[in-house]
Structure 1
Amino acid sequence: MTIAAIDFARLYRDHMAATARGPKAAGDWNARAGSVGKRLAHGGYAEAFIARMDLSGCESLLDVGCGNGALSLPLAARLRHIVALDYSPAMLEALREGARAQGAGNIDARLCAWEDDWNDVPECDIAIASRSTQVEDMAAALAKLHAKARRRVYLTHRVGGHFVDPQILPVLGRRQLPLPDYIYILNILHGMGIHARVDYIDGGEPAAITGFDELLRRVAWSLGALDADEIARLHRWHDERIGRGPILMPARRWAFIGWEKP
């Protein structure tokens, strides 16, 4: 058997289904609309993403999974037109507020998900998807992104499939398959005849947990709702662990993947 015989698109779908952890609902992101962009900006992620982009010869950009504008807002001053898509109404409203505050009248914010019909989404010189590619069908998402870009595509995806410190899982008594990481994307793109470039964006310093409530929120966001027994297990671990110093959540690392259109 050779690598050419492996259907990475199907392998990704099977892996994603086996995790039983599909994309977050719009309501989940609505509740975080006021905080995500600030955290990304303070961590230097947005600057690192933009620094890796080639904007030469480009006037328009499609930002898929734009959130509250961590990338669309700083790029608005450098491009003529931006189309920003997200499936969270609250995120889009936060983006619009940010655009009004900085006088950016060139951002077209639209309620649209990966799975929606993109017939009305215009082609742009550049298409990006920043930390927004936790989808059920990666091959379909990549094909949409590629089709809407005239010149270049850039995206980031998690390195490693865990969104919480793996040492937490045995504390909860869980055995959970990690999410598919960026290596699937490279192989799916290869099957599409696309030879992408890869770089990495480090998440900065580990985050210190300030108390049990914060720990519980972080774990529940990553793993889903915890039952009473799991909460009690986590609380005991927190109380024992905090006595040995601050609890640090490892920083995430992102693969920055880009390619040119022929």
Structure 2
Amino acid sequence: RFEAGDGETALETALESNPEAEHVPEQGDDIDYLAAQFEQMARRIASQLDLLKDKDHQRRQLVAQVSHDLRTPLASIQGYLEALQMKQDDLSPAERGRFLKVALAETHRLGRLVDELFELAALEAREKQPVPELFLIAELVHDVVQKHQPEAESAGVNLVIAAADPVMVRADIAMTERILDNLISNAVSHSPANSQVTLAVQGADGGARVTVADAGPGINDDDLAQLFDPFYQAANADRTGHAGLGLAIAQRMAQLQKGQLSAQNGASAGAEFQIWLPGK
């Protein structure tokens, strides 16, 4: 039955023939021992088959989603370039400039998507490994906040570091910066004008916890469980320019560094993301 792919039926048959074979007996004849061994093997094979089915389902979903997200900017680029070719004599210089600007923006969007796909694939295959070193996480947070100040000012959002404990972490600086880049950009883009994004660095559980809290609409409870899945986007998410890979990449990077990345809604409003990294 295992050869036919029916691992669960084989397992049920094994248990029906020997329902008391839950563990390897400490004493008993060879038949009891073989029955218990077969029961353990059946459970292992059934578990592996379920895992393979789940992986295959994820692969199919990933291929379908990648195809969709690649096709969208490509179709936009093709449409604007064809319009330029067919109507170039009838378009004003301003219109031609607008068409080219949109097509160029779509090529940048497509390039970001391809880069993120390669980055996520490398992380999943563990081809990209962290190089941990000791450093003050608060210093890195200050640097990343300074880098994102122009983006925040343009959106009318105030970036504030509410707490910056002098805590040492053992992590990969480049990967940690990449995670912070993603969390801060997301917080700024989801916060309304004249609001505030607050960061805090605090010692916690033998390491450091960095919190990024925005003033946006928060996260639906139904979306929290899938927030870090590749390509997952909430129903009310802005789908322009984002393929839903940033948080998946950030989570993989946190996990590779033996850290944790989590999300929750704030006590009053907005979303709150926390990354914990190990200390010495």
TM-score over 0.5 for the pair: no
Relative contact order (alpha carbons < 8 A, sep ≥ 6): 1 or 2 greater? 1
Rg larger in 1 or in 2?
2
TM-score (norm 1): 0.25
Higher helix share: 2
